[in-house]
Structure 1
Amino acid sequence: MSALDSAHALAAAVAQALYARDPAARQLGITIRHCAPGRAELAMTVADFMLNGHGTCHGGYLFTLADTAFAYACNSGNEFTVGQHASIDYLRPARAGDTLIAVAREVKRGPRSGIYDVTVLGADDEPVALFRGLSRSRPGTPVINDTAP
């Protein structure tokens, strides 16, 4: 197995391990579409209970989808990593029944911190929200020799 294949296999294993311990993602119906080193693509279908008083997807659910993709991308190298700061810009509404795709990518990774951008796409592949997260590495690993709290 090449180093690239090994890195992709590790990212997939980390994503599965995180998902197994992520009741919030499972409860909201968030699914993993793809994970690779420094990248993650997750999906969520907007349910009726996710709607706000305007009949559109509540921003908190959009943030949760984007934040989850951020977490999977920044942990993809099997280094225990947490969010340090995040912000989101809402661009347009999503509605009940829409399947949203959160595409996270690593912008910059240093020894202890990283920057990740997440684009939440609507069914028409147009952006619904833009998220930026700053990560911080901690001792431990999510999958192998798990010492993370």
Structure 2
Amino acid sequence: MQSSQNGASVAPVDTDAQALAERVGEAMFARDEASRMLGMHIDAMAPGYARVSMPVRDDMVNGHKTCHGGLIFSLADSAFAFACNSGNQNTVGAACNVDYLRPAFAGDVLVAEAEQRSRSGRTGVYDVTVRNQHDETVVLFRGRAHQVRGEVLEVMAS
């Protein structure tokens, strides 16, 4: 068994599915101007899973001198997108809810860990936990994804 960042057990992954998830993450990230502009980095990809980090810069704080909630949402949403597209089927967000639990500040490094909870037909549910460098939970995000036509990568049949 592998373990996620928070120590939970994760079932072993088919290496072909793992390689595909990594390739999908790389391709999506290369086209994702917004995530790159915000300084995000994909730390890990697996089928139904993504871990994405983002340093909080001085230009990301609001009038309360805390990280703007919309930018933390963007981090969670990006991790959600990478996780739900990891199987190479074009998938978009259909709905989500977010709970802001504590502030983040300039100089913090936030890590969003997205995990598939359910996948049935063309719909999936994903939980994303955003933590700071002290392993304190900053945001809880739950997203519902809907598969649409097409693939992220054009995969050649063998």
Which of these residues, 130, 140, 143, is aligned with residue 150 of structure 2?
Answer: 140
Q: Deviations over 1:90-128 (max 9, x none)?
A: 000100010000000000001111000000001111100
Does 1:13 pair with 2:8? no
Give structure 1 stretches of 5+ with no counterpart: none
Mapped pair 1:60 → 2:37: no
In structure 1, the residue matched to 2:6 is none
Listed as ranges, the matches of 1:87-102 within 5 Å are 87-102=97-112
What is the rounded CA distance, in whole Å, between the counterparts of 1:138 and 1:30 in structure 2?
25
Aligned to 2:10: none
Aligned AA (2:102): R
Counterpart residue identity of residue 108, structure 1: S
3-state SS of paired residue (2:77): helix
- Matched letter for residue 20 of structure 2: L
Q: How many residues align?
A: 143
Q: Equivalent residue of 2:110, what SS?
A: strand
The answer to whether the aligner puts 1:45 opposite 2:79 as a matched pair is: no
| 2-structure distance, mates of 1:47, 1:18 | 23
1:100-139 aligned at under 5 Å gives the runs: 100-139=110-149
Q: Which one has the bigger strand percentage?
A: 2
For 2:154 and 2:136, the matched residues in 1 are separated by 37
SS in 1 for 2:14: helix
Query: Structure 1: which 4+ aligned runs deviate by more than 6 Å?
Result: none
Deviation per CA, 1:6-62: give whole Å up to 9, x if none.
100000000000001100001000000000000000000001111011000010000
Report the TM-score when normalising by structure 2: 0.89
Cα RMSD after superposing both structures: 0.9
**Given residue 137 of structure 1, which amino acid in structure 2 is its aligned partner?**
Q
Q: 5+ unaligned residues in a row in structure 2: which ranges?
A: 1-12
Report the Cα distance in structure 2 between the residues aligned to 1:144 and 1:32, rounded to whole angstroms.
21
- Aligned residue for 1:80, secondary structure, equals strand
Q: Which amino acid aligns with 1:16?
A: E
Q: Percent identity?
A: 52
